[in-house]
Structure 1
Amino acid sequence: MVGSDCRASPEEFAISRLVLWNIDLTLLDVGRVMRAAYAEAFEKVTGEPLVYLTSTAGRTDSEMFFEFCARNYVDIEPDVDTLSQFLSGLETAFEARVGELAAKGRVMPGAAASLAAVAAMPDTLQTVVSGSPREVATAKLVAFGLDAYVNLGVGGYGSVNYPKSTLIQSIRLHAAERMFADSETVLFTDNVPDVRAALIGGAVPVGVLNGPTTEGQLREAGARLILPDLTDPRAVMSAVHQATTDSTTAR
């Protein structure tokens, strides 16, 4: 299934493989733009500058907001309302910087070719699980032309205050409902928290050494398949096949 939304009706085909992709540092890197958007949205909502950041790996923007408040000693009570204001402000701040993505960001080597290869695999649905709100996640992919290869209609996003493991479970349920299939699921990611979230959420994690996390750290967290990068689409397709058929890696 290729494209941003479901183009075929559920009756037209059933999937046997569900492939999920983490976005940041797995497919692309727009960290400079995101940090500026975080700072603008945080100060707008709290009245305080965002001085101390937190790790973004495997985190949703909702989780990070509450930690931003704690680390920056913000004298407000972070609640659902302030979180909603922050996420809305983040979307606005990021949208204002979309034109900077190409200049200040980059797509990871081989990401487009690997997404295209997986999209062409039979009986396979491909989407993303992101800690960012849907509008922000979509804008990141569109900026580098990666949205054409994934079905964003069944993706999982940080627009809701759930951890990534819950987002993965939600994607699997949504896909099963729409495609009438209980699919084997694989998640490609560069970081340890995502590997753990995949195991909790019912997906087989495949590590990609695009970020600072080492192979040993990914394996210790539970990733049994590791790719050095995404520059070999055949290796990516092989990892999908092995992760969804091999009993030694299946959940």
Structure 2
Amino acid sequence: MSRLVLWNVDYTLLDAGRVMRAAYAEAFEKVTGEPLVYLTSFEGRTDSEMFFEFCARNDTDAEPDAATLERFLTELEGAFVRREDELRDKGRAMDGAQAALGAVAAMPDTVQTVVSGSTRATATAKLRAFGLDPYLDLSVGGFGSVNYPKSSLIQSIRLHAAGEGARAYTERETVFITNAFADVRAAIIGGAVPVGVLTGSATEGRLREAGVTEVLKDLTDAHAVTRAIHQVTAV
């Protein structure tokens, strides 16, 4: 059976929150001329979605249109690149992340990539910093470089990940592994089966209430990760 395994990046595979907060603040002030005083939750959000909420919560005079968003994303990438050296000091890969990715990569007929709220360049830099990128086909990933919700990114990956002319991955063949409550809804709308990981703020009960049937405590048991994937894709 062919499988498409999608991973959320932040707080599922790694934690770069301290570095990202500084990069958001720098980029926001450069684009709007105002300090970023009020943040918003990162979990399950794209950088595009967060920018518009930043503008609303911080009462800025900047016009939150497509052109301003593009400038923000460009400045954000630059701000993050300037902080890449800080990642290993202030960030970390989640326990077991590398072994879990390796185990999934070894599954037959499986394509493995990410659905990230960050832009392609930022997400790639984060994964590369902790040696996670070799296990992933980032050429078919979904990123916050475009102003679409994660559900649309998931749907697009399903349609195109198998290559030109190949059939789309079905919902039963597609898995989205995430810690974020909002991502569970994105998975269901986008046509993927969600698998929950308790590495964020969402409780097991809340994830199950949203529609998750398989919940992992963390990624330290690589066999449990592959077993969960087998369970939710079993016909």
* Structure 1 counterpart SS, 2:161: helix
More displaced 10-residue stretch of structure 1: 175-184 or 222-231: 175-184
Q: Distance in 2 between matches of 1:21 and 1:164?
A: 12
* Structure 2 counterpart SS, 1:176: coil
Q: Distance in 2 between matches of 1:89 and 1:82?
A: 11
5+ long unaligned stretches in structure 2: none
- Asked if 1:92 corresponds to 2:78, the answer is yes
- Asked if 1:191 corresponds to 2:180, the answer is yes
- Asked if 1:235 corresponds to 2:221, the answer is no
Structure 2 counterpart of 1:81, which letter?
A
CA RMSD of aligned residues (A): 1.1
Structure 1 counterpart of 2:87, which letter?
L
Which residue of structure 1 lines up, in the alignment, with residue 209 of structure 2? 220
How many angstroms does 1:245 deviate by?
1.4
Which residue of structure 1 lines up, in the alignment, with residue 132 of structure 2? 146
Which residue of structure 2 lines up, in the alignment, with residue 19 of structure 1? 5
Q: Distance in 2 between matches of 1:179 and 1:152?
A: 20
8 Å CA contact 2:100–2:220 kept in 1: the answer is yes
Moved over 4 A (4+): none
Between the aligned residues of both structures, percent identity stands at 70
- For residues 86-129 of structure 1, the C-alpha deviation after alignment (integer angstroms, 9 at most, x for no partner) is 00000000000000000000110100000000000000000000
Which residue of structure 1 lines up, in the alignment, with residue 192 of structure 2? 203
Q: Distance in 2 between matches of 1:152 and 1:175?
A: 10
The residue correspondences of 1:59-70 to structure 2 (distance < 5 A) are 59-70=45-56
Structure 2 counterpart of 1:203, which letter?
A
* Structure 2 counterpart SS, 1:66: helix
Q: Distance in 1 between matches of 2:196 and 2:219?
A: 11
Q: Distance in 1 between matches of 2:69 and 2:45?
A: 15
5+ long unaligned stretches in structure 1: 1-14, 247-251
* Structure 2 counterpart SS, 1:115: helix
- Asked if 1:43 corresponds to 2:29, the answer is yes
Instruction: Provide TM-score, normalisation by structure 1.
Output: 0.91
The residue correspondences of 1:92-131 to structure 2 (distance < 5 A) are 92-131=78-117
Structure 2 counterpart of 1:99, which letter?
D
Which residue of structure 2 lines up, in the alignment, with residue 54 of structure 1? 40
Q: Distance in 2 between matches of 1:65 and 1:212?
A: 21
Structure 1 counterpart of 2:91, which letter?
G
Q: Distance in 1 between matches of 2:48 and 2:229?
A: 30
How many angstroms does 1:179 deviate by?
7.5
8 Å CA contact 1:30–1:106 kept in 2: the answer is yes
Structure 2 counterpart of 1:200, which letter?
I
- Aligned residue pairs total 232
Q: Distance in 1 between matches of 2:204 and 2:232?
A: 17
Q: Distance in 2 between matches of 1:78 and 1:172?
A: 31
How many angstroms does 1:182 deviate by?
3.3
Structure 1 counterpart of 2:197, which letter?
V
How many angstroms does 1:212 deviate by?
1.6
Q: Distance in 1 between matches of 2:175 and 2:146?
A: 22
8 Å CA contact 1:16–1:181 kept in 2: the answer is no
Q: Distance in 2 between matches of 1:153 and 1:98?
A: 21
